[in-house]
Each structure stands twice: as C-alpha cells, then as structure tokens.
Amino acid sequence: MLCVTVFCVLSLIWGGSWCEDLRFPPGFQFGAATSAYQVEGAWNASDKGRNVWDIMLHNTPSVTADGQSGDIACDSYHQWRMDIHMAKTLGLHFYRFSIAWSRILPTGFSNKISKDGVGYYNKLIDGLLRSGVEPVVTLYHYDLPQNIQSLGGWANPLIVDWFADYAGIVFSHYADRVKTWITINEPLILCDHMYNVGDIVPMVKEDLLGPYVCNKNVLLAHAKAWRIYNDTYKPHYHGKVSIANNPIWLEPLSEEDEELTELAREFGTGRYSDPIYTEQGGWPPAVEEIMAEYSKKQGFPYSRLPSFTEEEKKLIQGTYDFFSLNQYTSRLVRAAHEDETPGTWFSFGSKELNVVLETDPKWAFSDLKMIAVTPSGMRRQINWIKERYNNVSILITENGFATRDPGLYDTQRIHFIREYLREVLLAIKEDGANVIGYTVWSLMDNFEWMFGYTMKFGLYAVDFSHPLRLRTPRASALFYANVIKHHSLDNHSPEQYQHLKSTNLKSNNSSPATISIKELLLIFILIHVIL
Ligand code: BGC
C-alpha cells in the first residue's frame, strides 16, 4: 500500500497520470463525425439540386487550396457500406453525419421531395442501426441550396421558414429511427466568420449587419425546427435536438484582461447560446449594450445586433435537449493598445470589443494553423458552459487534429485526442460536469472546405486517387477503438502502434495516398488481433 502511495505521489510530482482513474463513466458514448458535402460526392446524382459549393467550385475552382471540389469526395453516396463497416470496426456508439438539404429538396423548397435522396439516408440509417451504431444526424452543415443563397441565404429572414419546412420533412422520414439531432452546425462559422472575413463559400463579405442578422435568423430557424420535433415527434420517439456551437476557449492574457475576456466569451459563445439556454432568454445584456453604443458611434439609428420581439425571445428560449459542443482550440485575450486596430472576429480580435486575440508562442499547432493544441481549454470551456447554463448535459460533437501528412502512424493525432479526452474526464470527475459523450472529427479524411484535400483529419486515411476511395485505418483508429473497447484511457500510448510505421503511406501531398492489398490485409489482421 505504502509503495502504491509513494508511486502515486511521485507520479503527481512529475505530472504523470499513473494513478489517475482514466475510466469513463458508465453510459458515456463515443462517436465520430463527417458532413454531407465533405464525404458524399455524387453532386449531380439523380435529381439532387445544386448547393453553394457545387456552384462556386465549378465556376471558380481556384478558391480552394488544391483547386478541388467535393464532387466525388469520399464517394460515400456509393461507398456508405464502407463507412458503416468502419464505424462498426471502431466500435463507435454513434456516427454523426449530415443530410444534404439539396439532396432531399432539389429546389431547396418544400415543393418537391427527392425519392432517391430520401432513400439514400434510409439505407445509411438502417445500415448503421443493423450494425449497432446509433445515427446522430445534422440537418445543415454549410451546404446551403444555391436557390436559397441567391435569395440572400442566412441573411434573409424567410430562411427561418424554409429551414423549418426542410427540418419538418426530414423529421417526418427519419424521426422513427434517429434519436439525436443537430439542427445547424457551427453558426459562428457560417455567420461570424463568413460575413466578417468572406473567405469561405458562399464568400459574401458584409461585416456590418451580415454576422448579426445571420445570428438572429439561425437562432430562429433552429428554434422552429426544435419546436416541430418537440411538438410532433418527441412524444412518440423521445429523441433530442440541439444546435452545434464551436466556441474558441478564451483565456485572459493577464489578470487585467479577465473582465474583457468574459465579455469576449459572451460575444462569441453567449450570442449563439444565451438566447437558447438562459432562463431570461435574449442576447447577453453586456453584448447588447456594447453593440448598441458602437452602432450609434458608426452613425446607425439602430443597433447592428437586431433586437428580438418578446415573442421571438420566447420562441427561442429553452429550445434544447442538450448542449452540442464542437471544441478544438483556444486563444489569449487582451485589450487593444491605443494605436492598434484589432483584427477580424473571430480569429484575431474584435473592433466592437476593442479586443485582440493571440496565441501563446509555447503552444503547438496542427497543420491547420487555426487549431492550436490547447487541451486545457476543453475543460475550461466545459466548465464555462456548465456554470452559465445550469449544468446542462453536454455532448462533444466535434474535436480533432489536422495533418498535411497522409501517413498512417499519426501519433500527434493520438496525443491530441488522448489529452483532450483526459480533460473531458477531469471536467466530469473533478468538476462534476455532465458530459455525456465525445466525437472525433473525423471518421475519415475528407474535403476540408477551402483547404480541399490538403488537410487530413481522419481516423481512416482515404485514397482519393482510387476509384473506390479506399479507406485505411490509421494508428489513431486503433487507439480510439481501444479507448472505446476498454471505456478508458488506461494503458494506451502512441508507442503501442509503432508497427504502423512500416506501413506508412507516402507523406507527399501532391501524390495521393496509396496502399497495397498486402499492407491492407496486414492492417486488418492487426486490428483484429489487437481488438
Ligand atoms: C467543421 C467541419 C470541419 C472541421 C475542421 C469544424 O468546425 O464542422 O466541417 O471540417 O471543423 O476544420
């Protein structure tokens, strides 16, 4: 006993985790995620309509890093059996995927429902359920029907009803089997990032009203969809619905910046969550005040942050069954110096708040430089949500690591997932947070938006030069399968996967990953031996 105690004390002193209880609570669920445009391909299959990506990338391919589009992507429209096989092999409790709006409603509107579109997701959902993997379905993941974009997209208030129509139709087809729903993925990207920076499709930069009008419309659209499910489907099927938010955890650079940092958190996370999760509803009051003052200074006779009517506030307030959290990274916050103009929100700062966002020179980064490796931000973000939103249950719906290297021995990814999961455990065990599950982004390499195929997030590597888009498990897939199998982070370390070094893929970006059948067989045998 004494030996054990001494061992543990030494472990604590050296910052080790030998005596930590690294088991997840019973019922904790593990999943992996993708989204329609990033994996499906089949951009013109059957009567599918065109979305904003189809149009922009066919007209101007040069906007993506490699000039590529999601026309074929992982070809999941045809290779969905492989996707289910991977999910099953990993032992996933759930697979989060999204439905392509324009595949279900070719015009974007409710006048026509595609039989083939509906059929595709029926096959996927039924196949997952037969394999014991729960489908977690996102209704909208950045792939707006072009018709709706042509009418102003998320800046047109009519989108609220168009989205509600679409949501109602999707629920009517799948709610009998799908029990967990996400209405809209990451409004911080589709409103704040898109309208402030304009560098993501549909590439509309309008930073005065764009982010805020979009913010309000997204909340109303989500709320209407939630209410349709709640009133019509929940009584029969008892499922749950949320909206996926992706805050960047914000940490003050110094003690003096604490108050400003909290304001920035309210500006980033609160603006998308307070109206839904707080008892009083509506915008965070401090943000509302700052926006009103700033708008006045700019000569606006009204606030750029549109107000809610009492009816709208009530419509949105309480429209959640859990908090869907996509958590990747952190930034440091400080006040802008006197002669300094803050960069654009949300990556570099905010002129409205007079805030600058920085990274710590000591932080490591993924190859996608936006993602600084900051596991402690996961625990702090969870705690912020827990405190602010009355210990709401939290499902982590995305977290993952990007590399340019397509290699199979992806120890950095293993390290990233392990460290973030450790913080999730600490949040649950030490802080009493109600985190119910965790999702890796992504199940497989896919079309990484403006980065095309140059960034890899997959537990599985995808050979984008192969007609079947072959998928090959990386070391991180073996690691994650072990975590799921043992329901614990115990006894897993990157060194266990050394054998994959010899089966590494070419790490040259320009030449797509290839792997011989012999190597593929060897990997599958290894997975089965290990599991
Ligand atoms: C998005 C994914 C994206 C991932 C990595 C998330 O914010 O939901 O679509 O691929 O980040 O950039």
Query: Between 524 and 55, where is the model more confident?
Result: 55
**Which of 322, 503, 286, 492 is closest to 409 using CA atoms?**
503
Question: pLDDT confidence of 501, banded at 50, 70, 90?
Answer: confident
Mutate to test the pocket of ligand 1, among 141, 243, 399, 449 (most ligand atoms within 8 A of CB): 449
**Residue 497 CA to ligand 1 centre (angstroms):** 27
Question: What pTM value is reported for the model?
Answer: 0.93
- Residues known to be catalytic: 398
- Output the CA 57–ligand 1 centroid distance in Å: 18
pLDDT above 50: residue 508? no
Across all residues in the chain, what is the average pLDDT? 93
Residue 430 has pLDDT above 60, yes or no: yes
The string of pLDDT tens digits covering residues 83-96 is 999 999 999 999 99
Q: What is the mean pLDDT of residues 42-47?
A: 98
Cβ contact 245:188 at 8 Å:
yes
Helix boundaries (H) for 112-186: 115-130, 146-150, 159-174
- Residue 68 makes CB contacts below 8 A (sequence gap 6+) with 57, 61, 447, 452, 453
Q: What is the pLDDT of residue 520?
A: 44
Q: Which of helix, strand or coil describes residue 393?
A: coil
Q: How many other C-beta atoms are found inside a 10 Å radius of the C-beta of residue 152? A: 15
Which of 1-15, 185-199, 262-276, 352-366 bottoms out in mean pLDDT, i.e. has the lowest?
A: 1-15
326 close to ligand 1 (CB < 6 Angstrom)? yes
- Ligand 1 near 441 CB (within 6 A): yes
Task: Find the 110 Cα to ligand 1 centroid distance in Å.
Answer: 28
Q: Say what the pLDDT of residue 17 is.
A: 53
Over residues 269-294, the pLDDT tens digits come to 999 999 999 999 999 999 999 999 99
Q: Which atom of ligand 1 is nearest to the CA of 244?
A: 8
Note if the bond before 350 is cis, omega within 30 degrees.
no
* Residue 31 CB partners (closer than 8 Å, separation 6+): 92, 93, 94, 95, 96, 134, 136, 437, 438, 439, 440
Mean pLDDT of 173-177: 99
Flag whether pLDDT at 479 surpasses 80: yes
Give the pLDDT mean for 154-158: 98
Tell me: pLDDT of 311 over 90: yes
Mutational pocket test of ligand 1: of 184, 398, 416, 439, the residue with most ligand atoms within 8 Å of the beta carbon: 398
Q: How many CB atoms lie within 10 A of CB 209?
A: 16
Q: Is 246 in the pocket of ligand 1 (CB under 6 A)?
A: yes
Relative to the CA of 441, which ligand 1 atom is closest?
4
Is the CB of residue 35 below 6 angstroms from any atom belonging to ligand 1?
Answer: yes
- Residue 432 scores a pLDDT above 80: yes
pLDDT surpassing 60 at residue 222 = yes
Over residues 98-138, the pLDDT tens digits come to 999 999 999 999 999 999 999 999 999 999 999 999 999 99
In 253-306, at which residue ranges do the beta strands (DSSP E only) sit? none
pLDDT above 70 as % of the chain: 90
